[in-house]
Structures are given as C-alpha cells and as structure tokens.
C-alpha cells in the first residue's frame, strides 16, 4: 500500500470539504472541552474531599454571655459543656476557642480578602468548641446531644456543609457532561455526513481504483484517516479552549483559590486530562468513520 497516496487523498478530502471539516472540528472541540471541564470538576471534588475530610469538625457555638465573660472556659455552663463533650463517645479532641482566638482564626482564613476582614469585629465572633470526631460521619450524635443546651447558641456540622458543596459541584458536573453528550452527538452526525459527502465526491476515482484491483479496505482507509485527523485537531482545539477557560476562571476568582477555600486548578490538571480527551477523540472518530463506511458507503 502506497502511504504517500493514502495521505495525499486525506489532504485532498479535507480541503475539498473544508466547510464541513471546520464545522466537524469546532463541534468536536466544544464537545471535548465540555468533557474536559467535567473531568476537571471531578478532580476538584476529589481535592476538596481530600483536603477537608480529615479536617472536618463539629463547631459548638456558645452564647454571647459566655463569649464575652468566660475567656478561659473556667465557669459554668462552659466548663460543664466541655466536660460533657470530652466524655462523649467517639470524640477525639475538644478545643476551646475564645472570641479573640476566633477572630484571629477568621483573619488568617480570609487574609486574601482584606475588605471582608475590615468589616468584621471581634464582638461578632462567638466562642466555640471545635470538636474532632474519630468518625466524621457520626457528627449527628453531637448535633442532637448538644443542640438547645444551656449556653449553646448553635451546633454546626462542617461535614454537612461539605456534602452540600460536593452536591453543588456534582450538579454542575452533570449539567456540563449532559451538554457535552449533546455536542458529541452532533459531532458524530457531522463526522458521518462528512465521510458520506467525501465518498460521494470521489466516487468516480474510487470506482476506477476498484476496477483495477484495489481492495475495499485500501479505498476506505483515506476516509477513515480524514475522520481521525479532524478528531485529533478538534481535541487540540478543545484543549486550548479548556486551558483558556481554566486560566480565565482562576484569574477572575483568584481570592477563592489563594485563600485555599477551593483547591486551585491549573494547566497541569489540563495536561493530566488531555490523554483522555485525545483518546476519546480518536476512538469516536475512528469508530464513527468505520461504521459509516460499512453501513452507508458502498465503495
């Protein structure tokens, strides 16, 4: 088989149907960039869970009178609450954080957002028991036992907030992947139509090749390679779109990442998912091309 002939036919086919080829590349690029975005969201969810799962605590916020008058938790009912927490089954550690320490902690967490720190006042930060559990999923035991007790303002389970955050990102991921699926279907139809049009425009020369003894596989291979080449170009364009999106979002939401509220995503994450996108592009293009040639194109 003459390799130069096959590749010259590929170039000819791509140039002859240039508008359909561009449409196929752009549709494939959008589909794969959405798929890549979904994969990046999965990576972010994994990072969030890895970062926070071992740090999850139950925060027992105390009332204003305790926060203002019992700095060392030496009086009742604060001392009694601490003793009850320490003797509760499943509790690993109990740390008392008075109003001043809570304010310092607040400033450290939001040091990348000085405007927010300026608005806060120490008087607005309640004294808090930070309770770390042996099993973070058993936080409901603390919530049920201490909600409504004397001296307790509220009980916050960080695991519940983390669960809502993960659910939010999972919902965004599902929406993005659904959109990617619709775009992928459009790309498949464009690939199929492009191959059929390309085969029709070259039906005479292909027919002559068959008459002089060329095999069906030999005549079909250029069309198959056309689809794969267009898919690879689409994947490269899609990766460029994805990288631009990541850089843009990082710059616009820099405070969220620099303050470590959310784990940052960067170009390295795009590089990590790129083999998946390239593999999907090649597989889908080759498979669609092969099925189209076998079922709809008689050459």
Instruction: Choose the weakest-confidence range: 103-117, 125-139, 145-159.
Output: 103-117
Single residue among 128, 157, 186 that ends a domain in this structure: 157
**Residues 232 and 99 grouped into a single domain:** no
**Residues 91 and 177 grouped into a single domain:** no
Per cent of the chain over pLDDT 70 is 76
**Residues 42 and 129 grouped into a single domain:** no
Report the mean per-residue pLDDT for the chain.
78
Q: Mind spelling out the 3-state secondary structure of the chain?
A: CCHHHHHHHHHHHHHHCHHHHHHHHHHHHHHHHHHHHHHHHHHHHHHHHHHHHCCCCEEEEECHHHHHHCCCCCCCCHHHHHHHHHCCCCEEEEEEECHHHHHHHHHHHCCCCHHHHHHCCHHHCCCEEEEEECCHHHHHHHHHHHCCCCCEEEEEEHHHHHHHHHHHHHHHHHHHHHHHHHHHHHHHHHHHHHHHHHHHHCHHHHHHHHHCCCCHHHHHHHHHHHHHHHHHHHHHHHHHHHHHHHHHHHHHCHHHHHCCCCCCCCHHHHHHHHHHHHHHHHHHHHHHHHHHHHHCCCC
Mean pLDDT of 2-12: 61
Q: Are 273 and 245 in contact (CB under 8 A)?
A: no
Single residue among 123, 157, 191 that ends a domain in this structure: 157
**Residues 144 and 74 grouped into a single domain:** yes
Instruction: Choose the weakest-confidence range: 155-159, 256-260, 279-283.
Output: 256-260
Instruction: Choose the weakest-confidence range: 59-63, 125-129, 191-195, 276-280.
Output: 191-195
**Residues 63 and 47 grouped into a single domain:** no
**Residues 77 and 182 grouped into a single domain:** no
**Residues 261 and 168 grouped into a single domain:** yes
Split into its structural domains, the chain has a count of 2
Q: How confident is the model at residue 207 (pLDDT cuts 50, 70, 90)?
A: low
**Residues 106 and 70 grouped into a single domain:** yes
Instruction: Look up the CATH number of the domain holding residue 102.
Output: 3.30.70.3040
Give me the domain span that covers residue 34: 3-52+163-295
**Residues 129 and 22 grouped into a single domain:** no
Mean pLDDT of 153-166: 80
**pLDDT recorded at residue 137:** 74
Q: How confident is the model at residue 262 (pLDDT cuts 50, 70, 90)?
A: low
Instruction: Using the predicted structure, report yes or no on whether residue 1 has a pLDDT greater than 60.
Output: no
**Residues 35 and 173 grouped into a single domain:** yes
Single residue among 157, 188, 213 that ends a domain in this structure: 157
**pLDDT recorded at residue 9:** 60
**pLDDT recorded at residue 275:** 92
Mean pLDDT of 182-208: 72
Residue 39 CA to residue 270 CA, distance in Å, equals 9
Residue 152 CA to residue 29 CA, distance in Å, equals 55
Mean pLDDT of 15-20: 72
Residue 268 CA to residue 93 CA, distance in Å, equals 37
Q: How confident is the model at residue 37 (pLDDT cuts 50, 70, 90)?
A: confident
Residue 56 CA to residue 51 CA, distance in Å, equals 9
**Residues 180 and 275 grouped into a single domain:** yes
**pLDDT recorded at residue 236:** 93
**pLDDT recorded at residue 237:** 93
Mean pLDDT of 105-122: 67
**Residues 61 and 197 grouped into a single domain:** no
């Amino acid at each position: 088989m003459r390799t130069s002939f096959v590749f010259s036919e590929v170039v000819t086919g791509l140039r002859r149907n240039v508008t359909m080829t561009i449409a196929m590349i752009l549709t494939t690029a959008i589909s794969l960039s959405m798929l890549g975005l979904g994969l990046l969201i999965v990576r972010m969810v994994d990072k969030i869970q890895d970062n926070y799962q071992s740090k999850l605590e139950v925060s027992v916020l105390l009332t204003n009178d305790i926060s203002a008058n019992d700095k060392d938790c030496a009086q009742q009912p604060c001392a009694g609450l601490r003793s009850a927490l320490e003797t509760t089954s499943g509790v690993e550690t109990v740390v008392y954080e008075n109003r001043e320490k809570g304010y310092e902690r607040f400033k450290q967490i939001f040091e990348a957002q000085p405007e927010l720190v300026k608005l806060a006042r120490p008087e607005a930060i309640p004294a808090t028991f930070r309770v770390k559990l042996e099993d973070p999923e058993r936080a409901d035991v603390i919530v049920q036992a201490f909600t409504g007790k004397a001296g307790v303002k509220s009980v916050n389970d960080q695991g519940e907030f983390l669960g809502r955050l993960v659910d939010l990102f999972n919902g965004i991921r599902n929406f993005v992947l659904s959109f990617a699926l619709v775009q992928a279907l459009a790309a498949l139809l464009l690939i199929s139509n492009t191959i059929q049009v390309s085969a029709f425009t070259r039906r005479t020369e292909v027919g002559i090749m068959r008459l002089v003894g060329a095999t069906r596989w030999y005549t079909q291979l250029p069309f198959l390679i056309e689809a794969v080449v267009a898919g690879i170009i689409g994947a490269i364009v899609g990766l460029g779109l994805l990288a631009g999106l990541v850089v843009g979002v990082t710059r616009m939401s820099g405070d969220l990442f620099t303050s470590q509220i959310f784990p940052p995503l960067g170009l390295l994450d795009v590089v990590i998912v790129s083999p998946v996108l390239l593999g999907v592009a090649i597989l889908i293009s080759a498979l669609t091309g092969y099925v189209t040639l076998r079922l709809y194109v008689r050459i």
